[in-house]
Structure 1
C-alpha cells in the first residue's frame, strides 16, 4: 500500500507544483499588461473615472452570484462594515482611480516598477513603526536596491521635457498607490481576513463611490468607441478584478504564500515588453537600469526570511 501511495503522492505534488507555477505566471501576465491597458485608456480618450467605473461594475456583476452565497451579512460577510469600508477605501475604487490617474501622466512601465517595488519598502517601514518588526540584513539589501532603481525612475522623470514632462506627477500617484496597498496589506494581515471575502466586499462596496465619481469627475463613456470601452471592461473588470484574484489565490494554495510572491518581479518585464509591442513606449537606458535594480531588489527581499 505504501509503495503504491508514494508514487501517487509524488505525482500529485508535481501536478500541484506545475499548476501553481502556471497560475503564478498567468497572474504576472495579467498584472503586467494591466499598466499597458490603463495607459491605452488615455490614448482612447477615457478618463480615470471611466475606467474605474467599468472595472468595478463588471467585477461586481461577475462576483455577485458568489457574494450572495458566501457573504453573510451581505455584502461584507465576516469582515463587518467598519473593516470592509476601511479596506475598500485603501484597495477598492479609490486605489484604482489613483492608479489609472497616474497612467495619464507616466508611461506604463513606471506603474509596474514603482508600485510593486515600493510596496515591500513601505510595508517594512510601517511594520517597524506600528508593529516593531525589524527587517534582516538581506531584506534591507533588497529594499536598498529597490529604492536605487526607483530613484533612477524619479531622476529620469524630473529630467523629461516635451510629451513626457509630467511623468513625475504620475510617479507620485504610483507612490500613493504603494502606500495605500501597504496599509491595506498590514490591516488585512492583522485582521486575518480571507482574500476572496476582501475582494468581494471591496468590489461591491466600491459601487457606492461610483456615483460620486460620475458627478464630480469627467465622464467620457458616451464619446468613446465601443471597442475601447469593451477592452477596459473585459480586462480591468473580468481579468484583473476576478481572474487574477482566482489565479493568485490558487497559486498560493498550491505553492504557498512565499513562493507565490516570487512571480511578482516578472511584472515589470511583462509590462516593458507589452509597452514596446502595443504602445510603442521604449524605455530609456536609465529606466532599463532602474527596472533591473528594482527586479533584483524585489527578488532579494522576497527571498529573505
Structure 2
C-alpha cells in the first residue's frame, strides 16, 4: 500500500511539475537531478556504512569508491535501468502527455513487460489466464496510445509522451527482473541504483549546466521548489518506494509484485481528473478499465500459485521437523 500511494503521488506531482502549461520552473532533467541528489543524501552514507560493516566481516563486494554495497557489474546493470533511464524517460514523458495517460501506460504496462522478461530471463511460465490478462493490458494500452498516434498526423505530440511512458515501464521491468535474478536485498539494491545514477548523471549534468550547454533551472529556481522535489522525488519515490517495491519482489516475485499495483492506474487517473483538471475521454476510460482487469486477472492466477508454494514449504518444514 505504501508503494501504491507513492507511485500514485509520483504521477500527479511529476505531471504538475513537468507540464510547461502549468508554469513549472524545473525541467525534466532538473527533476531527475533533484530526485538523484535527494535520494543520495540519505542512501550514499547508508551505503558507505554497509560497505564498512561488510569489510569488518571479511566481505569485500562493493563498488563506486565504497558507496555501493554491490559489485560493479550488478550496480551498473540495475542502476542503468532502475536508477537513471527510468527517471529520465518518465519525467520527459510528462512534458508531452497528461497524467491520465501515464496512469495507464506506466503502471498499466509494467506487468506486461515484466511477464515477458520474466519468461525470457527467469523462464517463468505464462499460464492461459495470465495470457488473457496480458492481452487485456495490450488492448487497453492500444486504446490510449493509438489515439495519440492518430493525433500525430494533426501535429499532436502526446504520442511522444506515451512512447516515453512505455519505455519507462520497460526499464523498470528490467530492474524488477534483474533484482529477482540476483536475489537482491531491498535496501542494498536501492542504494546501488542511486549510487550509479549519482556518479554517472550528477557531475555530467552539473558541468553541462554551468557551462551553458543545456537549459536548466535547478541552480536558479526558488530553493523551496528544489527542496520539495528533492524530498518527494528523492526520499519518497526512491528511498521509500524503492525499498518497499523491492521487498515486494522478494516475497511475491516480479510478476505478481507489479500486478499488485492494480490500484495505481485508477487512483492516479482519478486524481488527474479531480486535482489537475484533466479530461477523461472515452478511450482513456475504456483503456483504464481493460488494463485494470488485465492486472486483476494476473493477480487472480498468482494467488493460487503462491498459496500452493507456501503450503509445500510448510509441509517440507514439518517433514524435516
TM-score by length of 1: 0.82
The answer (yes or no) to whether the contact 2:44–2:68 under 8 Å persists in 1 is no
User: Unpaired segments of 5 or more residues in structure 2?
Assistant: 55-61, 303-321
The answer (yes or no) to whether the contact 1:49–1:218 under 8 Å persists in 2 is no
Q: Which has the higher contact order (CA 8 A, sep 6+)?
A: 1
The answer (yes or no) to whether the contact 1:45–1:220 under 8 Å persists in 2 is yes
RMSD after superposition: 2.5
Aligned length in residues: 278
Q: Which residue of 2 aligns with 1:279?
A: 276
1:154-212 superposed Cα distances (whole Å, 9 cap, x missing partner):
12212447999211101111121122122222222111111210101111221112222
Offset of residue 251 of structure 1? 6.8
Q: Which residue of 2 aligns with 1:114?
A: 105
1:207-256 superposed Cα distances (whole Å, 9 cap, x missing partner):
11222234164212245344432332221112111222344467779xx5
Say if 1:180 and 1:157 are closer, same or farther in 2 by CA, change over 3 A: same
Q: Which residue of 1 aligns with 2:46?
A: 66
Q: Which residue of 2 aligns with 1:127?
A: 118
Output the CA distance in 2 between the equivalents of 1:119 and 1:263: 11
1:100-126 superposed Cα distances (whole Å, 9 cap, x missing partner):
011111111222221222222122223
TM-score by length of 2: 0.78
Match of 1:76 among 60, 68, 72: 68
Q: Which residue of 2 aligns with 1:188?
A: 179
Q: Which residue of 2 aligns with 1:89?
A: 80
Say if 1:303 and 1:213 are closer, same or farther in 2 by CA, change over 3 A: farther
* 1:35 pairs with 2:29: no
The answer (yes or no) to whether the contact 2:106–2:168 under 8 Å persists in 1 is yes
User: Unpaired segments of 5 or more residues in structure 1?
Assistant: 1-23
Q: Which residue of 1 aligns with 2:314?
A: none
Offset of residue 83 of structure 1? 1.1
